Amino acid sequence: MSNDKDIEQYTQWIAEHGATVQGLGWNSEGGQRLRWKVLSEVYPLSGCSILDVGAGFGGFATYLKEQDIPFADYVGIDITRAVVDAASCKYKILISDIADAPLSNVVFASGIFGTEGTAAQWRRTINQMWGKASNALAFNMLSSLAGDGPICRLSPAEVFMFCRELTPWVSLAHNYMPHDFTIYMYRNQCNAV
């Protein structure tokens, strides 16, 4: 859910901070790792193919390996050339849009909804990611319940209800950081953990 303005912003952050969490617009590595922990709890990932939308430097794949989660395949996509060029990981990260990404067992997105966007844009992005997930989708957003701010904050209830239009098996976690929430979506009840 990005545009030329977002690409310009990430390119600037990379130029200023290099391949660091600040280069991706995050405040701290600890916060990023907590978000990855919550995302990784969506589904048993052992043996799964993973699509990481807005992969950045591939840090989520590194986190999963550190946690001894033996996923089968990882593909990260990002739309910012400077981010992909700065990535020095051993995982496949492509300059790509969601439409061109491979179908995967589980799709993840962390931090891609933090820029200005309309309801139509975030709905389209969620729908596209859902179309690439054969078992589950997990993504996080900044919560409007934490107050207003200079970045895009969305209503957890509104996002949850939209996701329920796509599948009846949806879960919302808003208990790990006061300003974040994570949505888990499943193809069927058996996939829901």
Q: Identify the band that residue 80 occupies on the pLDDT scale cut at 50, 70 and 90.
A: confident
Q: Identify the band that residue 1 occupies on the pLDDT scale cut at 50, 70 and 90.
A: very low
Q: What is the mean pLDDT of residues 64-84?
A: 90
pLDDT at 151 over 70: no
Q: Identify the band that residue 30 occupies on the pLDDT scale cut at 50, 70 and 90.
A: confident
Q: Name every residue whose Cβ is closer than 8 Å to that of residue 148 and which is 6 or more positions away in sequence.
A: none
Domain ranges of the chain: 4-186
Q: Of 14-18, 61-65, 113-117, 174-178, where does mean pLDDT reach its minimum? A: 113-117
Q: Of 51-60, 67-76, 89-98, where does mean pLDDT reach its minimum? A: 89-98
Q: What percent of the chain has pLDDT over 70?
A: 89
**CATH 3.40.50.1110 for the 4-186 domain, yes or no:** no
User: What pTM was estimated for this model as a whole?
Assistant: 0.88
